Structure 1
Amino acid sequence: MRLTTGRTAVLALATAATASLLGSTVSAADATPGRQTGPTATALGWGACEGTGLDPRQECATLKVPLDYRDPGGKRISLAVSRVPSERPRARRGTLLLIPGGPGSPGLDRPTTLGKRLPRSVRDAYDIVSFDPRGLGRSTHAGCDLAPADLSLLASRPWPAPGGDITENVTTGRRIADTCARNGGDLLRTLSTVNEARDIDSIRRALGERKLSAWGVSYGTYVGSVYAQMFPEHTDRWVLDSNDDPDPERVERGWLANYAVGVEDTFPDFAAWASAPGSPVRLAGTPDGVRRRVLALAARLDAKPLPWPGANPPELNGNVLRQSMLSALYSPDTFEDLAKLIVDADAGKVPDAAPADPTQDIAAVSLATICNDVEWPTSLTAYARDVAASRKSHPLTAGMPVNVTTCAFWHDKPRDKPVRITGQGPSNVLLVQNTRDVATPYRGALELRRAYRDRARMVSVDAMGHAAAYRVNHGSDCADRRVTDFLLTGELPKRDLRCP
């Protein structure tokens, strides 16, 4: 998943929506299903993309799709779609769709930002395509018109108060749910993984493709799995990287709970780094010493937060530190920033720059998707009990992963049942997974692998971090080769593999 979190994750999302589109529109109803008039023929009217730093070959278009797929002749909304065409049209074999993560992550610039990570052979073989999901970026916008304080991640992320009290979380959750019900409109009610899968199939038809190949990362693995279950006949070569547990009884509720596991899985990597003699910011002489220092600092900041003008909330408290730690565990590249934050906070200092809050559309799409995908429990007594138990068993996350959320007070029931992932369909799914991943823990990925049965193979990488294939700085040549070979030949490994 990911439930867009933390300092670095939010800053990345805030700058992700830099591309906008110019170009004509086409209705999904105007594109004939399965039609293919040539290797590059398309029903979309491509035009130049606005924005800076984009591949000059990236093109953008707009696709009209039903607001409600139960009423295909009714109101329509726009999806912003982008592509970088194959670099060798004669070698082109199809379309590789980059499925955005989140929920709440735009995708329009991904053919540039992620596409350039792909080897030349893959860029020759495919048009690289992505899109802004409904409600986001240059697609028809969603929003709840939340107050600035409720855009803070500590408002939507249910960190309990010091000592574990959840009273303020209940008040905040009710307020956000009421605000979204009042201001969100019809679009907010349609934001779900099932509808995103339907939107992808509309994109497929508009592209004139009988089948799509895909590369989904994080929450994109769940979107990709739902699509592969709903439209197996339209899947070609399916790569899912950093995989979510597909449990249809829990869905995002289970993913949030898994943060407690993910932090415990990955914190030892940070602790080893921060206690190593050659570390640029050494926090303690042993990994246990690093853990004790972090827990002690969080407790001190619970009792006496540091003023942080310009931040939201305007203080560095224990939960801000915990959220910053969780976000830093997405990648070893952020270890040094976290260690510096710990050193400065111990000295009574706060960073010069405050983390950015999610935009209104990112907040609305993230919340609505999480709440619309599955029903959430409403017993406040049960939430309080679970928080108390989690605080004892997983102190680094202080009860947050099992706490009450806005979804407990959401006004709408899910319109579609969660899709159960099964092994029904062609054997064309390659799962790629780091063994230590804070956001999509390995044990959850194994559940997806079991659900796919013979339809999939898994390549596990003995590494820490979120996203396993084509990583910058911390990649695995072994995993990259397996993904590239699959995209080029379509052949899955004969058995599950483990890469060093």
Structure 2
Amino acid sequence: MRAAALYSAAGSLLLTTLAATPAGGTPTRPEAPGVPGTAELRGTAVAVARARAAGIDFGACAAADVPQAPDELRCGTVTVPLDYAHPNGKQIELTVSRTRATQKDPRNSKRKVPRQGALVYNPGGPGASGMYFPLVGALPDWQRIAAAYDLVGYAPRGVGRSAPLSCEDPKGFFKGPSAAPTHPSEAYKRQRVARAKEYARGCAQRSGGRLRYYTSLDNARDLDVLRAALGENRLTFMGASYGTYFGALYAAMFPSHLRRMVLDSAVNPDPAKVWYADNLDQSAAFEERWADFRDWIARHDDVYRLGATPGRVQRAYDTARERLARKAAGGKVGPGQLQNAFLTAGYYDDFWPSRAGALSAYLHGDPAPLVRVAAPHPGTATEAENGRAVYTAVECNDAPWPTDFAVWDRDNTRLARVAPFETWDNAWMNLPCAYWPAPRRQPLDVRTGPGELPPVLILAAERDAAAPYAGAVEMNRRLAGSVLVTERDAGTHGIGGGPNKCVDAYFDAYLLEGRLPARHASCAPRPEPKPDAPRAGEESRRDALRGKAERR
């Protein structure tokens, strides 16, 4: 993995030290055990039996779940306990979507393909919905899989209409234009601390006693109930990003229930990393990806006129930040909205042309393209607020966090010296966890021994910023018998079923035939995006696979 140009040897050492050092301060003592207890295991068994008996009554999809859903997409609900320790207590419903296996071989229309069951997908977040996932079956790269599998998506607990979680009034969610200082003042830090405390209080006030039950362990239990409701004896699952974490929890908790599992863009499941240190690692990795993007812009200076070196591109970006701080573009886009738009480009390189083009147009006198790609959309405020609430609740509930802001200030100040692009934005996103009103759990130490699981396929891009590559290596080390396929020198977040034919060959062979390479494999990177337009088909694939959350 090549080092980013911005990193000096001292900077790299600092990042390594930050990642290896405990968070510091005094984390909240976990008030609830992370290891699944007897009561929760019994409760899961009760819920599984009920779900298998009830099944899922699939019908037309509600507009609130999938607007303008095609006829072949059907929706239903599955009932799970809010608290698995009390399976006869309050119940919640999770929305589910499905397309049936077509059983039509796209390469030979006369050949009928055997159905292999259901493939369940989670796009991560936490807080993303998979309700759109079955629609990928219409894309050419997915038609062989859609022939063999029912494609199943769902909205996890808290998301969409699945016992929705909220922490603030959606009407006030989009607060733009906003600032995004890379080296914040002490006064600004005090403002953000106050805002984080207010947000944490809002989560408790708007959710009441439910707040503690939005966890990764509960997501894994819900997945087993969904498996039973679908009539599957063993689960075939694909998790992306955060979905790889609770997928790994599922594998450790229910190993005999697993058929096949793809973990795409795996996060680091080490309990010492979940989630405070994982977020520091993520901020460091985004700096490398931002360097990749600036290098690409510089190589296409004839198109974008933002500078022929990465340093000049950085100065152009800084100039835009300064101008937007003085006067928001379209009255809506300030430095915060600019940073969010370019952070998205750190996830998916098919966004590079539109972001670079918008920045260029703005600096050359036309703000309209920047307003189009960066301005908040009030129509999506409810969905965005919900996703943020679920993200926060799950991450805060899952693990201890430092409760002294001095620890956050120390670690993020150090990191921002060498990785300013996302560090403080990421810190503010997670800071409510310092003041969280619900009990914290101790993360489950995910480990499986030889023969405990069927082989698991792990996919990772070497320069993924949202899920740094070291996490995939650690996931592979912890899941005995798993195989890691690496897309070298590439950084798009989520690589299965995409434009890389080498990756897809391994992906298809595993899902369709259960076949994995004998040892770890690697693939050359996908082609870089062209400077004038996104690659054909990538936007529709991305929208179906990513859900609506883009944190992890």
1:146-161 to 2 correspondence within 5 Å? 146=169, 148-150=171-173, 152=175, 161=184
Q: What stretches of structure 2 of length at least 5 have no aligned partner?
A: 1-43, 104-111, 525-552
Asked if 1:293 is matched to 2:316, the reply is: yes
In the alignment, what sits opposite 1:377?
Answer: 402
Q: Following the alignment from structure 1 to structure 2, what is the Cα–Cα distance between the partners of residues 410 and 446?
A: 31
Shift in alpha-carbon separation, 1:177–1:30, aligned structure 2, 3 A: closer
On the 8 A contact 2:301/2:308 being kept in 1, the answer is: no
Q: What secondary structure does 1:263 align onto?
A: helix
In the alignment, what sits opposite 2:106?
Answer: none
Shift in alpha-carbon separation, 1:348–1:278, aligned structure 2, 3 A: closer
Asked if 1:451 is matched to 2:478, the reply is: yes
Q: Following the alignment from structure 1 to structure 2, what is the Cα–Cα distance between the partners of residues 375 and 155?
A: 30
Shift in alpha-carbon separation, 1:141–1:226, aligned structure 2, 3 A: same
Q: What are the superposed Cα offsets for residues 263-300 of structure 1, whole Å, 9 maximum, x if unpaired?
A: 222223312321124753231112332234334544x3
In the alignment, what sits opposite 1:333?
Answer: 350
Asked if 1:46 is matched to 2:70, the reply is: no
In the alignment, what sits opposite 1:487?
Answer: 511
Shift of 1:345: 4.6
1:374-413 to 2 correspondence within 5 Å? 374-397=399-422, 399-402=424-427, 405-413=431-439
Aligned residues: 458
1:259-338 to 2 correspondence within 5 Å? 259-277=282-300, 280-295=303-318, 297-298=320-321, 300-301=322-323, 304-308=325-329, 311=332, 315-317=333-335, 319-338=336-355
Shift of 1:124: 2.2
Q: Tell me which amino acid in the other structure corresponds to 2:439.
A: K
Q: Tell me which amino acid in the other structure corresponds to 1:293.
A: A
Q: Tell me which amino acid in the other structure corresponds to 1:385.
A: R
- Normalised by the length of structure 1, the TM-score is 0.83
Q: Following the alignment from structure 2 to structure 1, what is the Cα–Cα distance between the partners of residues 179 and 217?
A: 23
In the alignment, what sits opposite 1:61?
Answer: 76
Shift of 1:69: 0.4
In the alignment, what sits opposite 1:8?
Answer: none
Q: What are the superposed Cα offsets for residues 200-238 of structure 1, whole Å, 9 maximum, x if unpaired?
A: 111111122110111111111112111111111111110
Shift of 1:398: 5.0
Q: Tell me which amino acid in the other structure corresponds to 1:410.
A: W
Identical amino acids, percent of aligned pairs: 31
Q: Tell me which amino acid in the other structure corresponds to 1:355.
A: P
1:353-364 to 2 correspondence within 5 Å? 353=372, 354-356=375-377, 357=381, 358-364=383-389
Q: What secondary structure does 2:239 align onto?
A: strand
Mean Cα deviation higher: 370-379 or 342-351: 342-351
Q: What secondary structure does 2:462 align onto?
A: strand
In the alignment, what sits opposite 1:14?
Answer: none
Q: Following the alignment from structure 2 to structure 1, what is the Cα–Cα distance between the partners of residues 181 and 371?
A: 26
In the alignment, what sits opposite 1:224?
Answer: 247
On the 8 A contact 2:240/2:264 being kept in 1, the answer is: yes
In the alignment, what sits opposite 2:262?
Answer: 239
Of Structure 1 and Structure 2, which has the larger fraction of its residues in strand?
Answer: 1
Q: Tell me which amino acid in the other structure corresponds to 1:200.
A: L
Q: Following the alignment from structure 2 to structure 1, what is the Cα–Cα distance between the partners of residues 242 and 500?
A: 21
Shift in alpha-carbon separation, 1:200–1:159, aligned structure 2, 3 A: farther
Shift of 1:329: 1.6
Q: Following the alignment from structure 1 to structure 2, what is the Cα–Cα distance between the partners of residues 445 and 82?
A: 29
Q: Tell me which amino acid in the other structure corresponds to 1:192.
A: T
In the alignment, what sits opposite 2:453?
Answer: 426
Asked if 1:470 is matched to 2:497, the reply is: yes
Shift in alpha-carbon separation, 1:56–1:279, aligned structure 2, 3 A: farther
In the alignment, what sits opposite 2:34?
Answer: none
In the alignment, what sits opposite 2:463?
Answer: 436
On the 8 A contact 1:28/1:206 being kept in 2, the answer is: no
Shift in alpha-carbon separation, 1:362–1:157, aligned structure 2, 3 A: farther
On the 8 A contact 2:280/2:423 being kept in 1, the answer is: no
Shift in alpha-carbon separation, 1:427–1:207, aligned structure 2, 3 A: closer
Shift of 1:114: 6.3
Which one has more relative contact order, counting CA pairs under 8 Å at least 6 apart? 2
Of Structure 1 and Structure 2, which has the larger fraction of its residues in helix?
Answer: 2
Q: Following the alignment from structure 1 to structure 2, what is the Cα–Cα distance between the partners of residues 487 and 366?
A: 29
- Normalised by the length of structure 2, the TM-score is 0.76
In the alignment, what sits opposite 1:16?
Answer: none
Q: Tell me which amino acid in the other structure corresponds to 2:433.
A: C
Q: Following the alignment from structure 1 to structure 2, what is the Cα–Cα distance between the partners of residues 184 and 159?
A: 33
On the 8 A contact 1:165/1:384 being kept in 2, the answer is: no
Shift of 1:399: 3.6
In the alignment, what sits opposite 1:122?
Answer: 145
